[in-house]
Structure 1
Amino acid sequence: MTFTRFAGFGAMTAVALTMSALAAEAKDWRGWNIHVEDYPVSHGMEAFMAEVTEKTDGAIKGKTFHAGVLGSQPDAIEQVRLGIIDFGVFSLGPMGQAVPETNVVSLPFIFKSVPQMYELMDGEAGAAVSAGLEAKGIVALGYYDAGARSFYNGTKPINTPDDVTGMKVRVMNNDLFVGMIEAMGGNATPMAFAEVYQSLKTGVVDGAENNPPSYESTSHFEVAKYYSLSEHLIIPECLCMSKKTFDALTPEQQEIVRAAGKASTDLQRGLWQEREAASMKIVQDGGVEVNTIEDKSAFQAAMAPVYEQYLAANPDMTDLVNLFRNAE
């Protein structure tokens, strides 16, 4: 009887110690996000964390901090590399300083369409970008849709590169984007995003470029009634996590995290497409003339000087650029 009680006590103690060990190993992750809480990216991140918590039976918990409250993107990228922040969603555009491979997706017309971007980033080309990220301490779990940037102006539809000739076009402050406009004979005008509406209204610039939700939510469509679907820049965002955090997981947990990343990516892409459709309806109902550029080959050919300059400065990126450009 005494032995039975002792055995029972021993079993209970073992369970208690096991539970205590699990509690000690439980992880509380922090996630960085620049976007507001009600946004496709934000919903994707929340779903990711929820699935990881559920599938690990609560061993991994965490919180996504929205609206950039954990700092700027450059700072957050560095903190992810160091393992201070566990995961985040980052635009690949500004990641080039830390990860050269990510600059390739900022080349104009590198993607022929958004569906092609999905296919390439989910395949061999995306794997090459992911390898570059991992070499810098970042594990890519999926590539979110951040939309396609297209031209808008208050003068005329744009159907060919020649239609941009002579236009003053606001662009982001990046030599690649300045070169893109200049290659079409336009005058690139880098300026702060907050200044674009007034500059369009007063004629400081003739046009600008952005994705449909940005074009709509900023009311730019009210002062630039021609929206031409050039889709010249399709720069995905990366659902990334710290390699230090990832490497500390068990193999089973790593599988759960990767599966949750894939599910989150699929969810976010669907939500983004819904958001884009809603924005397009608003601008068209507002009197915007929208034209689709079915054949982008003339635009791609016009980008030859941009690519030549980029590859001259980054010859080690030649194979990766060709992998993207030669894809069907």
Structure 2
Amino acid sequence: MKNLKTFTTTLLAGVAFAGAAAACEITLRSSDTHPEGYPTVAAVEHLGELVKERTDGRVCVEVYHSAQLGEEKDTIEQTQFGVIDMNRVSMGPFNNIIEETKVFSLPYIFRSTEHMHQVLDGEIGQDVLAAFEDHDLIGLAYYDAGARSFYNSQKPVKTLEDLKGMKFRVMQSDVFVDMVSALGGNATPMPYGEVYSSIQTGVIDGAENNWPSYESSGHFEVAKYYTLDQHLMVPEVLVMSKKSWEKLSAEDQEALREAARESVPFMRKMWAEREEASREQVLKAGAEIVEEVDKTAFIDAMKPVYEKHVTSDNLKQIVERIQAVK
């Protein structure tokens, strides 16, 4: 009887969903690796509501959270081919595809959250979004991802000496790999979904991420030492398949761009609230937070990373422009 009830509920939900989808002339599938309720997921859902309203129900957005359509590296290629219409991805995985994105992934490139917002919301941010088009993608908006810091299962990390020899998961980006190496650690690129079990089984000692990801992934359960070195403030980016974009009318394209812009302050507010809630939760669970960190030593260690990755005149100019933003 219980199974019959569950089947009936699922069937009715499917019928309702099919009916809602049928009312839309165009349904855009959007991917996100984060779980339901996460600020980036909620922001794209909010965007979808705005688009549906402004196109009189003709264009709808379905958000597939929790990596239902695949991990970030795989979904980028699917988005370029038009298999996935929209995609919220961290900037890191784009570093080996789009040169300009490397700059936003450089350690300590942003002095503060306010400085980052000034850059992203201004001309520099728009120039980098425009660079996606040459790679079969349309850049729509930047979302916050907070400051990334190291966490591990072994010991409190307070100095560079403490980091030496430790194995940390990083995103599949040469910049991230070289950053960890410059700090004396061993970088292990791997999909986000494999991190928990890899820390738990000792394949890696830890990883690096922001407060909400540290909490929502459950990584604080297996890596209780969290060091606030804040080495990266890498924005997230919402992109759309160029193939899917070109199927839209000019009016629908503008509606989508406007909705994307308006989803940014919505996301930032949610992010600030989520960051505080995540911090409280992991502290309550017994995570040990290291706040006394000599950032100067960390920053000084980044010189070879900049020398290796900021090589073209284009990238050097972007770095100079960012540093000149007050």
Letter in 1 for 2:213: S
| Other-structure match for 1:170 | 168
Letter in 2 for 1:199: G
| Other-structure match for 1:117 | 116
Would the aligned equivalents of 1:109 and 1:299 in 2 still touch at CA under 8 Å?
no
Aligned partner of 2:202 among 170, 181, 199: 199
- Is 1:44 aligned with 2:43? yes
TM-score normalised to structure 1 length = 0.78
Closer, same or farther: CA 136–40 of 1 in aligned 2, 3 Å: same
Q: Distance in 2 between matches of 1:309 and 1:132?
A: 21
Closer, same or farther: CA 279–163 of 1 in aligned 2, 3 Å: farther
| Other-structure match for 1:61 | 60
For residues 204-228 of structure 1, what are the alpha-carbon distances to aligned partners after superposition, in whole Å with 9 as ceiling and x for unaligned?
A: 74x5422122333455445655433
Would the aligned equivalents of 2:180 and 2:187 in 1 still touch at CA under 8 Å?
no
Return the offset for 1:53.
0.8
Letter in 1 for 2:198: E
| Other-structure match for 2:99 | 100
| Other-structure match for 1:70 | 69
Secondary structure of 1:199's aligned partner: coil
5 Å-filtered alignment, 1:129-168, equals: 129-153=128-152, 154-156=154-156, 158=158, 162-164=160-162, 166=164, 168=166
| Other-structure match for 2:79 | 80
Secondary structure of 2:94's aligned partner: helix
| Other-structure match for 2:251 | 252
Closer, same or farther: CA 247–262 of 1 in aligned 2, 3 Å: same
Q: Distance in 2 between matches of 1:36 and 1:305?
A: 36
Q: Distance in 2 between matches of 1:238 and 1:75?
A: 16
Q: Distance in 2 between matches of 1:72 and 1:223?
A: 22
> Which stretch of structure 1 is more off in the superposition, 115-124 or 70-79?
70-79
Secondary structure of 1:228's aligned partner: strand
Return the offset for 1:44.
1.2
Would the aligned equivalents of 1:197 and 1:218 in 2 still touch at CA under 8 Å?
no
Secondary structure of 1:151's aligned partner: strand
Secondary structure of 2:202's aligned partner: helix
Letter in 2 for 1:73: E
> Which stretch of structure 1 is more off in the superposition, 23-32 or 244-253?
23-32
Closer, same or farther: CA 256–295 of 1 in aligned 2, 3 Å: farther
Which ranges in structure 1 are unaligned for 5 or more consecutive residues? 1-22
Closer, same or farther: CA 97–78 of 1 in aligned 2, 3 Å: same
Identity %: 40
Letter in 1 for 2:260: G
Return the offset for 1:278.
1.2
Would the aligned equivalents of 1:143 and 1:265 in 2 still touch at CA under 8 Å?
yes
Return the offset for 1:128.
2.0
| Other-structure match for 2:10 | none
Return the offset for 1:182.
3.4
Secondary structure of 1:239's aligned partner: strand
Q: Distance in 1 between matches of 2:321 and 2:165?
A: 32
Pick the structure with greater CA Rg.
1
| Other-structure match for 1:210 | 209
| Other-structure match for 1:190 | 188
